[in-house]
Structure 1
């Protein structure tokens, strides 16, 4: 279980998160919904260790946990970014195997075996030799998901996973998230799409933009 207690975050003089609390139970899908500027992505970056919190405490399975200090040491929390952040000079297969080989010290053979299993699961088994520019938006997103899953995270986070997708692909993302939930994956989804949130989530956390200071 992941607990956030009185989390605060500032950028300069601007307060982005103010004493925010939330709890995500194991195997649960939590959607964080709110308007642009409400701090949704900032919250996700704090949870995933890409930003350091300025106040409060993060607790994982009953123990104090600092994702910022923990990043790159193991694969507790994975992220699927809004812009996918695939390496343009690497093939699909290499995009997925790079981090397990470097961070988890997997052999190339083991990393590729796992990557191919993920690609088959995500209906991308014929795309492993392609480069990101050769993929559709939906395919890039599934590659980004495979790359995150290859690190075997305990918690998987998504930043606006449907922002650039048409309605059919949005349903595809819903199925992927619900399929991972059936496997027991704990997931946190940042979205502006309330209907999408209600379709996938066990709980919805609404956040609002703080007034300018």
Structure 2
């Protein structure tokens, strides 16, 4: 279970998030929704450790946890970026195995075995040797999800997972996220798509400009 207690985030004199309290239960999906500029992505960046908060605390299973300073080999929180952020010069397999071998110190054979299982699960089993430019938007997204899952996170976060995809692929993304939920994965999804958010979420957090609770 992830708890945010009195989280505050400012940039200069501008407060983006103020005294936010929210709980994400194990195995559930939280959708974070709101207009552009409301702080959705900033909040996600704080949760994933890409931004440091100005106040408040995070708890994971009741224990204090600072995602910004986490330096252990435990990938507690994974993230799938809006534009996927795949390395263009690496194959699909290399994109997925890079962090497990470098950060988790897995052997190349173990990392590749895990990656292949993830690719098979995501219907990308025959794409391991392809490069990102050879993939569709939906395929790139699934590779990005496989890369995040390869780090064995307890919580998986997504920044606007449908924004870079054709509308007809939204349902496929829903199925994928709900499939991961069925496997017990706790997930946090930032989206501007209210219908999509309602379809996947156990709980929804509405954020407004200058007030994220």
TM-score (norm 2): 0.97
- 1:17-96 equivalence runs, <5 A: 17-71=17-71, 73-96=73-96
The equivalences for 1:97-136 within 5 A come to 97-136=97-136
Check the 8 A contact 1:74/1:103 in 2, yes or no: no
2:125 and 2:12 map into 1 onto residues whose CA distance is: 46
Name the residue aligned to 1:176: 176
Q: What are the residue-to-residue correspondences of 1:181-200 with 2, within 5 Å? A: 181-200=181-200
Distance 1:13 1:3 in 2: 26
Aligned residues: 211
Matched, 1:8 2:8: yes
CA 172–72 in structure 1, closer or farther in 2 if over 3 Å, else same: farther
Helix, strand or coil: the match of 2:195?
helix
Structure 2: 5+ residue runs without aligned partners? Answer: none
Please name the residue that 1:141 is paired with: 141
Helix, strand or coil: the match of 1:67?
A: coil
Shift of 1:68: 0.6
Cα-Cα RMSD? 1.0
- Deviation string 1:31-60 (CA, Å, 9 cap, x unpaired) is 000000011011001101111110011111
Q: Secondary structure at the match of 1:175?
A: helix
Q: Check the 8 A contact 2:83/2:164 in 1, yes or no.
A: no
The DSSP-based 3-state class of the residue aligned with 2:69 is helix
The offset of 1:74, in angstroms, is 1.9
Partner-residue secondary structure (3-state), 2:20: strand
Superposed displacement of residue 64, structure 1: 0.9
Aligned counterparts of 2:165 and 2:59: Cα–Cα separation in 1: 34
Structure 1 length-normalised TM: 0.97
Distance in 2 (alpha carbons) for counterparts of 1:9 and 1:72: 24
